Amino acid sequence: MVICDPELTVGMPRIITAGTGMDAFAHCLEAYSSPHYHPMSQGIALEGMRLVKENLPQAYADGADLEARANMMSAAAMGATAFQKGLGAVHALSHPVGAVYNTHHGMTNAVVIPPVLKLNRPEIEHKIEKAAAYLGIEGGFDGFYDYVMALRIDLGVPDKLSGLGVGRDRIEALTEMALADPSCGGNPVKLTNENVQQLFQDCI
Ligand SMILES: [Fe+2]
């Protein structure tokens, strides 16, 4: 049994509101982008992204806004439902970074989303265009990318992993761990030693 009571989230610090909210967004985005077949998850992921878009800035601005908190709680539950369809490189990178550097999971995801979107663009552009249309974002893939960048700024997300204390000295070990992560299998572009190392370079 799960009890989703938004009143329990009212006291969350802003930085945790931002991080957990971006984790919910990352779950929906990665599930939506995954090539695996699961139409129900696809729909849940899309609506989950809409709930984040329309409620996370407000939950961040006013932590006592119960409507925004309730919608974010739904988005979080929906993201976790949707990701049975798969996750991808955002989580494959974020898991080892969190393990080695003790960074916040959702905040780490938020930092790595843009370079992963760029890597996956050839495989997901058509899907992201549809998502952008549903979310009321103009400009297709580029508009969606710009929306994510703006959301990160609004929520105080660092631009690079170096802003979370991650250095370039352990990229090879992080790459090895990322390639062993179960999330790899859901990434739209096949992950290799070469492109994961490059992703870490771009993210740091
Ligand atoms: Fe996550």
Is 14 a residue whose pLDDT tops 90? Answer: yes
Does residue 6 fall inside a structural domain?
A: no
Cα(107)–Cα(62) distance, integer angstroms: 19
Is 175 a residue whose pLDDT tops 90? Answer: yes
pLDDT exceeding 90 applies to what percent of the chain? 99
Q: Report residue 119's pLDDT band, with 50, 70 and 90 as the boundaries.
A: very high
Does residue 18 fall inside a structural domain?
A: yes
Mean pLDDT of 35-60: 97
Q: Report residue 2's pLDDT band, with 50, 70 and 90 as the boundaries.
A: confident
Mean pLDDT of 177-187: 96
Q: What is the CATH number of the domain that holds 61?
A: 1.20.1090.10
Mean pLDDT of 126-131: 98
| Ligand 1: centre distance to CA 168 (Å) | 23
Radius of gyration of the chain (CA): 16
Mean pLDDT of 146-164: 97
pLDDT at 62: 98
Does residue 5 fall inside a structural domain?
A: no
pLDDT at 195: 97
| Ligand 1: centre distance to CA 80 (Å) | 8
Domain hosting residue 111, numbered range: 12-203
What string of H, E and C letters represents the secondary structure of the chain? CCCCCHHHHCCCCHHHHHHHHHHHHHHHHHHHHCCCCCHHHHHHHHHHHHHHHHHHHHHHHCCCCHHHHHHHHHHHHHHHHHHHHCCCHHHHHHHHHHHHHCCCHHHHHHHHHHHHHHHHHHHHHHHHHHHHHHHCCCCHHHHHHHHHHHHHHHCCCCCCHHHHCCCCCCHHHHHHHHHCCHHHHHCCCCCCHHHHHHHHHHHC
Does residue 54 fall inside a structural domain?
A: yes
| Ligand 1: centre distance to CA 118 (Å) | 19
| Ligand 1: centre distance to CA 86 (Å) | 11
Cα(204)–Cα(199) distance, integer angstroms: 9
Q: Report residue 41's pLDDT band, with 50, 70 and 90 as the boundaries.
A: very high
Domain count, the chain: 1
| Mean pLDDT rounded to a whole number for the chain | 97
Does residue 79 fall inside a structural domain?
A: yes
Does residue 3 fall inside a structural domain?
A: no
| Ligand 1: centre distance to CA 143 (Å) | 24
| Ligand 1: centre distance to CA 69 (Å) | 18
| Ligand 1: centre distance to CA 111 (Å) | 13
Does residue 28 fall inside a structural domain?
A: yes
| Ligand 1: centre distance to CA 137 (Å) | 24
Mean pLDDT of 167-191: 97
Q: What is the pTM of this model?
A: 0.97
Is 42 a residue whose pLDDT tops 90? Answer: yes
Is 155 a residue whose pLDDT tops 90? Answer: yes
Mean pLDDT of 44-71: 98
Does residue 78 fall inside a structural domain?
A: yes
